[in-house]
Chains A and B, each alone.
Chain A
Amino acid sequence: MGLKINQNLVNDNTGKALADLCPFKAISYENGKLDINAGCKLCKLCVRTGPSGVITFEEEKVELINKDDYKGVCVYADSDHGVIHKVTFELIGKAIELAAVIKHPVYALLIGDNCKENVNELLSYGVDKVFVYEDKALADFDMERYSNCFADFIENIKPSSILVGATNVGRCLAPRVAARFHTGLTADCTRLEMKENTDLVQIRPAFGGNIMAQIINPNHRPQFCTVRYKIFDAPKKVAEVKGEAEYRTVKPEWLKSNVEVVEIVEKPKELDISESDVLVAVGRGIKTAEDLEMVKELADLLGANIACTRPLVEANIFDAKHQIGLSGKTVKPKLIITLGISGAIQFVAGMKDSGCIISVNSDPNASIFDVANYGIVGDIYKVVPELIKKLKEAR
């Protein structure tokens, strides 16, 4: 399996064309020789759109797994320190949709202590079966203990897909367990679909650019993915609880740990932009930190919180808690006004599902206008002060 160069078809024309075509600069053509280096991401662009037959993709026969051995779409119930994170319910909603396509049961995996209330809550959202690992030593998140319980669940229950919330805990735990089973993990999916053959279709922004990738695990189970908070919607609670809980035995040897907790402190309540109903977001269109005054004034008039793009955090203009995007928060406010934001996919992935998007940018071709409900093509330094004036007049 891999790319094969058919040297007999290589000439100055095809060689140069291929070297230019590769977006990762992984193809070189020098002294009549075509070469592919370690920069290759196997996007297969050279195979599909390059001169025909020069670079081909060689498939190799692999032994196929029996996908019927794996049943169930499972949601990991993120319950660090006893409280279930709301992303869990959003994932249950999606898991119910996905499982319906292949007529699989919906599972939840809960690890913790004093789990009864949490079990009932999970069942109330329509989960068919909650698998519970309960022990005093599991009250707080511990990487090794939690991954041992998780591994037992996979070995014995053999779920087909596992959805994990991309919380800080989920982002530590999911890869650790996925690696243990040498299976695939797709982080920060923004869309999930199910194929008839139980392959989970995972869609996320990729290659660090304005591109979406559709990813599958064609020959590995379970299929792991993480999804951020506020990507999907939580389902309504069911009228009648039909699911049940299965308490699994926790073996003492799973509870060994290399980590000893000294202290756990509740984080002070701080601004969480993912909970805001109205946001004013600023990007590189802001020229200096002083210009933020007008942004603050606008936000105050609209009862909004201020959010920003990654470059403004890197420039130390904002604290990271204000950042929207793949390395910041995902937001879904009723209204978001973006000011001077071009709309890089990493940003857009974190806000595109907002209720109403009004974008102001002077570049009519800015990609933010691809997701905006209302695109205002203009200078923020003119539009914002005038808008502030109008809002004040109306008071």
Chain B
Amino acid sequence: MNIIVCIKQVPGTSNVNVDPVTGTLIRDGVASKMNPYDLNAVEMALKLVEENGGEVKVVSMGPPAALEVIREAIYMGASKGVLVSDRKFGGADVLATSYTLCSGIKALGDYDLILCGKQTTDGDTAQVGSELAEHLDIPHACYVKSIKQEGKKLEYVQNLDSKIVTARINMPCLMCVDSEINTPRLPSFLKKKENGDCQNKIQILTFNDVEDKDETHYGLKGSPTQVERIFEPDKRKDKEMITDGDLAKKTYDILKSKKFI
């Protein structure tokens, strides 16, 4: 089974703030990491390949620094990776991102299954996987908890809102896996030593390398949604701050006066 996993580099913490004076974004210097939900997808792919044979490849879109998460996936056990990276891809919304990822997937050749994490911790949209499946014109399922191969089909268990659904799906297909389905393995020190910077295993795809050269399909131009403005969340004006005295008693009095007790 040939599996492609979509991964993303996200900020190490989510502490981006708006400077109240200048209105600019302040981001602290914490290092970037692989989106934690993608680790579950990589782990599931590696397990499936261990059971059924085949190989795991990864694809990511982002700045050159995102090479680091592709290396991490290779140290975990992926055989190779593609980074789709070009300024022309910048400012992409869900539609343009999923379309651009398609180009990376096409560069990786044939596949039976594409796996995505549940969502990213920076965008938090959980929509790219489904849009990707539509662009590739393959069936897909979200919130998948487990997968096993049944002949030419994959049997999966899916977490829908009030139901747990077990179903079989034709390959090739795409699945977004749920969180907490497995414990992702750590990158192997041996593989790290063996592969070094993974130069022979990683391909970088720029705008010049993609098949579709219509610039209106990528980045800001290919994004129907536009950010009109960014602003700080509303602050409550009528709040009451309690900073000294018997804090527990004052809390108790609030609960009492509001009739919660």
B161 interfacial contact with A, CB 8 Å: yes
**Cross-interface CB contact of A38 among B89, B163, B238, cutoff 8 Å:** B89
Shortest C-beta distance, A73 to chain B (Å), equals: 18
A176: chain B residues at CB < 8 Å are 130-131, 133-134, 140
Does the CB pair B180–A374 fall under 8 Å?
Answer: no
Shortest C-beta distance, B244 to chain A (Å), equals: 8
A219: chain B residues at CB < 8 Å are 224
Knowing A38-B89, A141-B160, A210-B16 are in contact, say whether A172-B141 is a contact too (CB < 8 A). Answer: yes
Residues 80-94 of B contacting A (Cβ, < 8 Å): 85-91, 93-94
14 A-B contact pairs sorted by A residue (CB < 8 Å): A1-B220, A171-B130, A175-B134, A206-B230, A207-B16, A211-B25, A213-B227, A260-B153, A260-B168, A260-B169, A302-B260, A360-B247, A375-B241, A390-B248
State A314–B167 Cα separation when bound (angstroms): 29
Shortest C-beta distance, B35 to chain A (Å), equals: 10
A interface residue count range (under 10 / 10 to 19 / 20 to 34 / 35 or more): 35 or more
State A346–B140 Cα separation when bound (angstroms): 27
Shortest C-beta distance, A369 to chain B (Å), equals: 7
Contacts between the two chains (Cβ within 8 Å), count: 331
Knowing A176-B131, A212-B231, A215-B227 are in contact, say whether A267-B164 is a contact too (CB < 8 A). Answer: yes
A81: chain B residues at CB < 8 Å are 162-163
Besides A348-B233, A372-B236, 6 other A-B contacts (C-beta < 8 A): A147-B134, A168-B143, A180-B134, A214-B228, A217-B226, A310-B121
- A126-165: CB near B (< 8 Å → 1, else 0) gives 0000000000000011011001000000000000000000
Knowing A39-B62, A208-B123, A376-B242 are in contact, say whether A383-B166 is a contact too (CB < 8 A). Answer: no
State A263–B233 Cα separation when bound (angstroms): 44
Does the CB pair A182–B95 fall under 8 Å?
Answer: yes
Does the CB pair B228–A215 fall under 8 Å?
Answer: yes
A278 interfacial contact with B, CB 8 Å: yes
Knowing A187-B127, A260-B167 are in contact, say whether A320-B18 is a contact too (CB < 8 A). Answer: no
State A169–B163 Cα separation when bound (angstroms): 11
How many B residues touch A, CB cutoff 8 Å? 103
B240 interfacial contact with A, CB 8 Å: yes
Knowing A176-B140, A184-B224 are in contact, say whether A23-B242 is a contact too (CB < 8 A). Answer: no
Knowing A206-B230, A209-B27, A258-B173 are in contact, say whether A179-B135 is a contact too (CB < 8 A). Answer: yes
Does the CB pair B90–A42 fall under 8 Å?
Answer: yes
Knowing A38-B89, A172-B141, A374-B239 are in contact, say whether A387-B225 is a contact too (CB < 8 A). Answer: no
Does the CB pair A23–B25 fall under 8 Å?
Answer: yes
Does the CB pair A168–B225 fall under 8 Å?
Answer: no
Does the CB pair A370–B95 fall under 8 Å?
Answer: no
Does the CB pair A262–B168 fall under 8 Å?
Answer: yes
Query: Nearest CB to that of A190 among chain B residues?
Result: B233
Interface of B is mostly: mixed
Does the CB pair A220–B134 fall under 8 Å?
Answer: no
A178 interfacial contact with B, CB 8 Å: yes
Does the CB pair B235–A262 fall under 8 Å?
Answer: no
Does the CB pair B123–A377 fall under 8 Å?
Answer: no
State A264–B10 Cα separation when bound (angstroms): 35
Query: Nearest CB to that of A265 among chain B residues?
Result: B164
Does the CB pair B252–A387 fall under 8 Å?
Answer: yes
Query: Nearest CB to that of B65 among chain A residues?
Result: A39
**Cross-interface CB contact of B163 among A188, A266, A360, cutoff 8 Å:** A266
The 6 closest A-B pairs by CB, nearest first: A209-B16, A42-B91, A208-B122, A386-B248, A184-B224, A39-B63
A210: chain B residues at CB < 8 Å are 15-18, 232-233
